[in-house]
């Protein structure tokens, strides 16, 4: 996406111009690189970069064009950082196409190094998914609600952090903390105002599922209304150079994010296994009536679970925002992957959700070794369906849950 | 404020092209969700495979439109089998998640650059339905005073409503047959039906196929009406809107999806036209036209919540019949 920027359109009678400049990572122009353009109605054209590294192809009409850089014409030791093929849609005017270059050593890195890099990327993604999945799973376990508005909790975390940092001007760390507290509080409010009332009315679980879809639609368009359709970056740490650790390239913010995610997950596990409230939440998940009869305040436990779930989701939102920006539908985009993680691990088991999320994250990144990156989510979803065929209760789920 | 224009637009859209498409999708979904209790959240996928089956057959393989429709129906049946085999034995929410996943898989594949030469990427495929318009008996636009259609829309809407009437009749007669009673039985209590010796799995599969094929008819109408198929039309949000219509009109009722789709579109268009007109004429100054569109969808979300909480049986429904908690 970022490789293609549409220049201000100037009306030309002769059709659009596709152009660009090839430079080395050190901003030295590269001369003599061949670029081929293919388009509708059998159009083909080609250009060679000049002494300034610039190239330009005049195309006959508006339409979609495929631009290919001939890698054999690049100088020795120089490779492409983001592939050699671009597809652009030109509507008159000029369209800039960029081919960022990098060391070809990285491009031709061995299969093993690629696997290591993708494994690290996959674990990072898996940790973010786990934050969403554990919260979703806890809420499902204690209340039976399949919450289709959970993605909006993720978005809310990123948006509140963006609000505190970019608009109120707090440092990002404080802003994120304030965002998490806000989201936890809003999670409690959401439970009190909406879900608690529905439970009291005896609303069925499927009906609540549909209510959560309605809430999700409402919140998404509210976010769009308030935030606009663009993707924004947090004011700090947006462009950060990667550290090279052995064969792995990783940004410091990703390392800190991963550590935070691990800490949050370990904290949740400790809470579940060791604290009174956590044990109570497992009792409620097991049998609400029995838990209530043995003196556990079920509604209070559920409220705490909502606070925890909303805070974990918000953290997932902040971490996603750090790496790929903040947008109004970012939560919706990862909701399906979170669901895949939860289903894979077994609905309603928090450990299963953690386990499932890491597997989904790894699968998504490692699948790019064999399938095009744009289809990586497809691979993960297909595997989700395949696993349901073989082991419908999920990897860590119990047989009775599948009904 | 031009109220005449607002009312004309509202009434036209209530029975117009979009209402027809959503209505067919809702009639199909009614078989799944209303009568059988299947939580199919991938109805958009049935429309998508049908529309793409048609478009690819005609524009990529040079087949006739009618062969394309056959291809689309076969694709919808295959999709139903593919979705049903892993999930119909499982609890309701598994089907929900898998159907959503399947709809996304199909959308991501048809919009990918990798398969661009077959499906046209995010631009989709255009101009493949000339054969349909060649049969158009209308010689000019239709203007009934308060309802206006262009020549082509009039033809699409006519065929669409004939299809709606036909499919509704089929659903009506099937649901009062022994076969339909078994479906309703499955919705109410699967184990009871099983104890009577019925093969629940096979019945669910047949229901999934029937509803899917009716949805596919909606996909054909969508592809033909706009002479184009685009992947992002068939998003999960589409399915959610169909659910809203179905619940609004009343699930497990023959006229539920029809009334629901008409009222949904009438309200959506009315709110949009009214607010836009108010913004354009300077009556409302704190909104822009883009924001009006967003407010409309916020209202859809709130409406779906309110309906489900306060009147889950919708306008026509019978609360006793619709036990939404068959899990």
Dihedral-angle region of residue A42 (phi above 0 means left; psi in -120 to 50 means alpha; beta otherwise) = left
pLDDT, averaged across chain B: 90
- Could you tell me if A305 and A281 are in contact, meaning their C-beta atoms sit under 8 angstroms apart? yes
3-state secondary structure of B14: helix
Which pLDDT tens digit goes with each residue over A219-240? Answer: 999 999 999 888 888 988 766 7
Q: How confident is the model at residue A349 (pLDDT cuts 50, 70, 90)?
A: confident
Run of H or E including B227? none
Which pLDDT tens digit goes with each residue over A59-73? Answer: 877 777 888 887 777
Q: At residue A94, does pLDDT exceed 80?
A: no
Q: B52: distance to nearest CA of chain A, Å?
A: 18
- Could you tell me if B322 and B252 are in contact, meaning their C-beta atoms sit under 8 angstroms apart? yes
First to last CA, chain B: 50
Tell if the CB–CB gap between A381 and B325 is shorter than 8 Å: no
Q: Given CB atoms, is B157 within the 8 Å cutoff of chain A?
A: no
Q: At residue A83, does pLDDT exceed 80?
A: no
Give CB contacts under 8 A, 24+ apart, made by A262-265. Answer: A262/A127, A264/A131, A264/A312, A264/A315, A265/A127, A265/A130, A265/A131, A265/A134, A265/A354
Q: What is the pLDDT of residue A279?
A: 93
Q: At residue A204, does pLDDT exceed 90?
A: no
Closest CA to A116 of A249, A296, A19: A249
Token duo for residue A159: 């948006």
Q: What is the pLDDT of residue B5?
A: 86
- Ordered DSSP codes for B174-194: HHTSHHHHHHHHHHH-HHHHH
pTM: 0.81
* CA gap A314, B194 in Å, rounded: 44
Mean pLDDT over B207-212 rounds to 97
Tell if the CB–CB gap between B309 and A216 is shorter than 8 Å: no
3-state secondary structure of A17: strand
- Ordered DSSP codes for A317-348: HHHHHHHH-B-TTHHHHHHHHHHHHHHHH-TT
Q: Given CB atoms, is B123 within the 8 Å cutoff of chain A?
A: yes
Q: What is the pLDDT of residue A73?
A: 79
Among A217, A219, A336, beta carbon nearest to B304: A217
* CA gap A220, A155 in Å, rounded: 9
Q: Given CB atoms, is B102 within the 8 Å cutoff of chain A?
A: yes
Q: Given CB atoms, is B38 within the 8 Å cutoff of chain A?
A: no
User: Burial of B102 by CB count in 10 Å (0-12 exposed, 13-18 middle, 19+ buried)?
Assistant: buried
Extended beta strands in A186-316, E state:
243-245, 248-250
User: Burial of B104 by CB count in 10 Å (0-12 exposed, 13-18 middle, 19+ buried)?
Assistant: buried
Contacts of A340 in chain B (CB under 8 A): 97, 101
Q: B117: distance to nearest CA of chain A, Å?
A: 11
Q: At residue A207, does pLDDT exceed 50?
A: yes
Q: How confident is the model at residue B321 (pLDDT cuts 50, 70, 90)?
A: low
Q: At residue A108, does pLDDT exceed 60?
A: no
Contacts of A210 in chain B (CB under 8 A): 243, 247, 304, 308
Q: How confident is the model at residue A34 (pLDDT cuts 50, 70, 90)?
A: confident
Q: What is the pLDDT of residue A2?
A: 32
Beta bridge partners of A95: A6, A18
What is the DSSP pairing of strand A248-250 with strand A243-245?
A: antiparallel
- Could you tell me if B41 and B239 are in contact, meaning their C-beta atoms sit under 8 angstroms apart? yes
Q: B285: distance to nearest CA of chain A, Å?
A: 16
* CA gap B236, B299 in Å, rounded: 18
Q: Given CB atoms, is B101 within the 8 Å cutoff of chain A?
A: yes
For B110, nearest residue in chain A (alpha carbons)? A375
Mean pLDDT over B145-153 rounds to 88
Q: At residue A195, does pLDDT exceed 50?
A: yes
Contacts of B86 in chain A (CB under 8 A): 385-386, 388-389, 392
Contacts of A207 in chain B (CB under 8 A): 308-309, 312, 324-325
Mean pLDDT over B214-240 rounds to 94
Which pLDDT tens digit goes with each residue over B69-128? Answer: 999 999 999 999 988 887 887 777 778 888 988 999 999 999 988 888 899 888 899 989
Q: At residue A12, does pLDDT exceed 70?
A: no
Which pLDDT tens digit goes with each residue over B190-199? Answer: 899 999 999 9
HEC profile of A269-289: HHHHHHCHHHHHHHHHHHCHH
Q: What is the pLDDT of residue B65?
A: 94
Distance of CA B211 to CAs B15, B35, B250, B255, Å? 22, 10, 16, 15
Phi and psi (nearest 5°) for B159? -60, -40
* CA gap B324, B246 in Å, rounded: 13
* CA gap A2, A5 in Å, rounded: 7
Q: How confident is the model at residue A102 (pLDDT cuts 50, 70, 90)?
A: low
* CA gap B173, B183 in Å, rounded: 13
Contacts of B302 in chain A (CB under 8 A): 214, 218
Among A201, A221, A336, beta carbon nearest to B104: A336
Q: B25: distance to nearest CA of chain A, Å?
A: 18
Q: Given CB atoms, is B237 within the 8 Å cutoff of chain A?
A: yes
What is the DSSP pairing of strand A94-97 with strand A63-69?
A: unpaired
Closest CA to B229 of B219, B217, B239: B219
């Amino acid at each position: 996406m970022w490789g293609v920027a549409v220049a201000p359109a100037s009306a030309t009678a002769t059709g659009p111009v596709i152009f660009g400049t090839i430079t080395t990572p050190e901003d030295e122009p590269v001369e003599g690189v061949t670029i081929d353009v293919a388009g509708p109605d059998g159009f083909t054209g080609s250009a060679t970069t000049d002494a300034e590294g610039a190239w330009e192809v005049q195309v006959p009409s508006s339409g979609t064009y495929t631009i290919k850089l001939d890698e054999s014409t690049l100088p020795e030791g120089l490779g492409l950082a983001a592939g050699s093929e671009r597809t652009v849609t030109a509507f008159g005017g000029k369209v800039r196409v960029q081919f960022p270059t990098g060391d070809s050593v990285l491009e031709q890195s061995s299969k093993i190094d690629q696997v290591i890099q993708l494994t690290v990327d996959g674990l990072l993604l898996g940790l973010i998914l786990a934050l969403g999945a554990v919260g979703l799973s806890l809420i499902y376990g204690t209340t039976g609600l399949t919450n289709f508005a959970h993605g909006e909790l993720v978005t809310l975390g990123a948006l509140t952090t963006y609000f505190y940092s970019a608009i109120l001007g707090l440092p990002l760390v404080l802003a994120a903390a304030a965002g998490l507290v806000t989201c936890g509080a809003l999670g409690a409010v959401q439970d009190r105002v909406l879900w608690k009332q529905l439970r009291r009315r005896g609303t069925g679980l499927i009906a609540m599922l549909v209510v959560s879809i309605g809430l999700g639609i409402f919140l998404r368009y509210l976010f769009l209304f308030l935030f606009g359709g663009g993707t924004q970056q947090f004011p700090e740490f947006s462009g950060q150079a990667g550290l090279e650790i052995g064969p792995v390239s990783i940004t410091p913010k990703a390392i800190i994010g991963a550590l935070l995610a691990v800490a949050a997950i370990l904290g949740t596990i400790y809470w579940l296994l060791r604290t009174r409230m956590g044990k109570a939440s497992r009792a409620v998940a097991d049998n609400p009536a029995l838990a209530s009869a043995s003196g556990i305040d079920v509604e209070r436990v559920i409220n705490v679970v909502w606070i925890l779930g909303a805070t974990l989701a918000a953290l997932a939102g902040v971490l996603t925002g750090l790496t790929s920006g903040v947008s109004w539908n970012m939560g919706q985009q990862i909701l399906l992957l979170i669901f895949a993680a939860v289903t894979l691990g077994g609905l309603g088991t928090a450990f299963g959700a953690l386990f499932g999320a890491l597997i989904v994250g790894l699968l998504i990144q490692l699948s790019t070794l064999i399938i095009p990156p744009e289809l990586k989510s497809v691979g993960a979803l297909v595997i989700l369906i395949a696993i349901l065929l073989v082991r419908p209760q999920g990897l860590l789920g119990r047989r009775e849950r599948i009904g | 404020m031009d109220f005449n224009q607002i009312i004309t637009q509202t009434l036209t859209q209530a029975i117009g092209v979009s209402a027809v498409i959503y209505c067919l999708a809702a009639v199909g979904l009614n078989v799944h969700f209303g009568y059988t209790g299947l939580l199919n959240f991938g109805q958009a996928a049935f429309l998508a495979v049908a529309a793409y089956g048609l478009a690819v057959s005609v524009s990529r393989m040079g087949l006739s439109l009618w062969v394309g429709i056959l291809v689309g129906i076969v694709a919808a049946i295959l999709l139903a089998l593919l979705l049903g085999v892993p999930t119909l034995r499982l609890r309701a929410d598994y089907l929900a998640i898998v159907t959503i996943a399947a709809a996304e898989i199909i959308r991501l594949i048809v919009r990918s650059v990798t398969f661009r030469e077959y499906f046209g990427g995010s631009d989709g495929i255009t101009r493949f339905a000339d054969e349909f318009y060649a049969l158009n008996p209308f010689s000019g636009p239709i203007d009934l005073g308060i309802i206006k259609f262009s020549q082509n829309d009039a033809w699409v809407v006519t065929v669409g409503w004939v299809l709606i009437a036909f499919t509704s009749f089929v659903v009506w007669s099937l649901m009062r047959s022994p076969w339909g009673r078994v479906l309703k039985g499955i919705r109410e209590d699967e184990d009871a039906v099983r104890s009577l010796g019925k093969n629940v799995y096979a019945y669910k599969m047949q229901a999934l196929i029937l509803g899917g094929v009716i949805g596919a008819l909606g996909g054909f109408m969508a592809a033909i009406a706009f002479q184009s198929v685009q992947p992002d039309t068939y998003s999960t949000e589409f399915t959610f809107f169909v659910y809203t219509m179905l619940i609004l009109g009343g699930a497990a009722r023959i006229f539920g999806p029809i009334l629901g789709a008409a009222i949904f579109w009438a309200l959506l268009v009315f709110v949009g036209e009214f607010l836009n007109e108010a913004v354009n004429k300077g009556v409302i100054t704190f909104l822009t036209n883009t924001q009006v569109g967003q407010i409309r969808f916020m209202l859809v979300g709130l409406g779906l919540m309110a309906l489900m909480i306060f009147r889950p049986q919708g306008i026509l429904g019978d609360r006793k019949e619709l036990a939404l908690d068959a899990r």
